[in-house]
Chains A and B, each alone.
Chain A
Amino acid sequence: MIQAESISVSYGSRLALKNVTFQSPSGSILGIVGPNGSGKTTLIRALSGVLPLQSGHIWVQGEDLSKLSPSERARRIAVVPQAVNLPPSFTTWETVLLGRTPHLNWLGQISEKDRLIARKAMERTNTLDLSERYVGELSGGEQQRLLLARALAQSAPVLLMDEPTAHLDLHHQLNLLQEIRTLAHDDGFTVLMVLHDLNLVARFADRVALLVEGKLQPPGRPEEVLTAENLSKVYRVPLQTLLVGKGRHPVILPAGY
């Protein structure tokens, strides 16, 4: 469970997050959507503890994030970053093992247990057969799954994801999100994910919140939040929604189709 209590973050004089408050309980997926530049990546960075807060508090499993050391933080929160600029000359296996960093001693000695956990993380993400391949040779989708494997190897209960489906084709998008849903619903992970694709958020997130110009609107069920009225205002284009399937998931389309 991760909780933000009116956090504000600024870059120089520009306020990037303004009094953001929310709560993301374990066992569910909170999707964050919003236009470009609304502060989505900043929110992920702040929640992972790498950006100083101007004000407010972040609580992870009941503990104040700012009071934790980097390794204590990383044992509670794992980040799946966007797959860009990864060092090309490590193998997949070496990269996933680095997820064990917060559990290692200062020499970075890796035990059999660490290897076992890394291997399990790779099994779950279908990356085991990539073990010996170099990261530079992998496709965008493979790199994204590799980063999810590395995050799982951290054994942290909270997963923060920044556009995990950005480089994936439809098949891989759906597979990855299905896997993430299993992680939340069956394994009890707290998942907070930033996504651009409104339809994927609508389909896979348990709750959704809109981030607009650094302000987070109250989270709610997808069909409550992703309404034509809300979205048309936020994205400044006329949009319509249809409710489909037995789950009555909203599907968002430009108006007039």
Chain B
Amino acid sequence: MGTPNAYRPYLLSILLLAAMIFLSIAVGSVFIPLEKILQVIGQRLRGIPPELRSTDLSPFDTILFDLRLPRTAMTALVGAALACSGGAYQGLFRNPLADPYLIGVASGAGLGAMVAISFHWPRTFLGLLAVPVSAFVGAMFTVLAVYTLSKVGRSVPPSTLILAGVAVSSFASALTSFLLIHASGEIRRAIHWLLGGAMMSGWQPVLAVLPYILGGCAVLLAMGHALNVLQFGDEQAQQLGLPAVWVRRVVITAASLATAAAVSFSGIIGFVGLVVPHIVRLVWGSDYRRLLSLALINGAAFLLAADILARSILAPEELPVGIITALAGAPFFLWVLRRAKQQNMW
């Protein structure tokens, strides 16, 4: 509380993120050492026009600015959005198993994005900006459906939340598959997208998701205190002066917006929103003001690490990053489930 120690978690998290950003930029078919990375970036920062840049550096320049930097930026943004919204959903449902993937929001967003993509919206930048909006509509539908279905009286028990999530998620996925088969031309790419990790390349998708993810996460970070109060239940929250219904709406909207933007161009990547907030909670406590911001930073680092693995394990072949997060996250999910059961949460 206000002691110098309060900054330590942030310092550690930022160092971890910086290390992952460096690795993500450096590692690939060509390894680019830190020195070269700094030279290339220095060149650009000093505004040296392309024709005057060092020819030794030009292949690095292309790899860095056309491929690795946009990919790194996209991965970090998606990881941050999924972890931050996962933490927010957990607080909102007062349920440790809530995660954008498990409660079906990601599938709903995927369906929304698929609809937009099958209309060929992403051909223009404006169309690209509209994909997250379509995904957001899908996400809101699923989260409201899951919430309504899983509510028992005034609480949302973990078991019914997950069951409703599975059902609604399967339904959305089935519709997505139908659209996929319908749009047979781009089927391969779309399947890859669905598995998570076939991020659209280049800077445009990064710019297209940026406002949604920044906006959604900024709102969530501002709701940290409100989420703390909400942990005591709606009634006590109201008695403490919190407009609980309004807070719920704002958090659902912001978390779904961030999730939808993340899913729009990176596909459905599971478990990030479960694993990262959980580890943050175990290490640094449950204060949502801290939890959400730390989940955001570490979510970016976590997905970058998963992406580096996905690129390296079968290099030069790339695995979808969703496979890595599921391999790490599914056992973690089972562990959380066991722990929740031992604490008689069912």
Interchain residue pairs with CB less than 8 A apart (17): A48-B238, A50-B238, A70-B243, A71-B242, A73-B241, A77-B239, A85-B233, A87-B231, A87-B286, A90-B228, A90-B286, A91-B285, A94-B228, A98-B228, A99-B240, A101-B229, A108-B225
A200 to B226, CA, bound (A): 37
CB-CB contacts below 8 Å: A52-66 with B: none
Give B residues with C-beta under 8 Å from A: 1, 94, 222, 224-226, 228-229, 231-233, 235-236, 238-244, 281, 285-287, 289
Residues of A within 8 A of B240 (CB): 74, 98-99, 101-102, 154
Question: Which 9 residue pairs spanning A and B have beta carbons closest together?
Answer: A108-B225, A74-B241, A102-B241, A71-B241, A87-B231, A89-B286, A79-B239, A101-B240, A50-B238
Residues of A within 8 A of B229 (CB): 98, 101
By DSSP majority rule, is chain A's interface helix, strand, loop, or mixed? mixed
A70 contacts B241, C-beta separation under 8 Å: yes
A81 to B232, CA, bound (A): 11
B286 contacts A101, C-beta separation under 8 Å: no
Assuming the A-B contacts A106-B222, A107-B222, are A87 and B232 also in contact, with contact meaning beta carbons closer than 8 angstroms in the complex? Answer: yes
Partner of B289 from the list A71, A72, A102, A108 (CB cut-off 8 Å) is: A108
A16 to B331, CA, bound (A): 48
Instruction: State whether the Cβ of A49 lies closer than 8 Å to any Cβ in chain B.
Output: yes
A79 to B240, CA, bound (A): 8
A74 nearest CB neighbor, chain B only: B241
Instruction: State whether the Cβ of A45 lies closer than 8 Å to any Cβ in chain B.
Output: yes
CB-CB contacts below 8 Å: A83-103 with B: 85-87, 89-91, 93-94, 98-99, 101-102
B238 contacts A49, C-beta separation under 8 Å: yes
Residues of A within 8 A of B241 (CB): 70-75, 101-102, 154
Assuming the A-B contacts A87-B231, A87-B232, are A48 and B287 also in contact, with contact meaning beta carbons closer than 8 angstroms in the complex? Answer: no
By DSSP majority rule, is chain B's interface helix, strand, loop, or mixed? helix
Residues of A within 8 A of B244 (CB): 70
Residues of B within 8 A of A90 (CB): 228, 231, 286-287
Residues of B within 8 A of A243 (CB): none
Residues of B within 8 A of A89 (CB): 281, 285-286
Q: Given A49-B238, A69-B243, output 15 extra A-B contacts at Cβ < 8 Å.
A: A70-B242, A70-B244, A71-B242, A72-B241, A81-B235, A90-B286, A94-B228, A94-B287, A101-B225, A101-B242, A104-B225, A107-B222, A108-B228, A115-B1, A154-B241
Assuming the A-B contacts A70-B241, A89-B281, A98-B228, are A81 and B286 also in contact, with contact meaning beta carbons closer than 8 angstroms in the complex? Answer: no
Residues of B within 8 A of A94 (CB): 228, 287
Which of B226, B239, B285 is packed against the most chain A CB atoms within 10 Å?
A: B239
A106 to B247, CA, bound (A): 11
A50 contacts B235, C-beta separation under 8 Å: yes
Residues of A within 8 A of B231 (CB): 87, 90
A47 to B225, CA, bound (A): 25
Assuming the A-B contacts A70-B242, A101-B229, A102-B240, are A45 and B287 also in contact, with contact meaning beta carbons closer than 8 angstroms in the complex? Answer: no
A79 contacts B236, C-beta separation under 8 Å: yes
Residues of B within 8 A of A104 (CB): 225
A72 to B238, CA, bound (A): 11
Partner of A74 from the list B228, B235, B239 (CB cut-off 8 Å) is: B239
B226 contacts A108, C-beta separation under 8 Å: yes
Residues of B within 8 A of A70 (CB): 238, 241-244
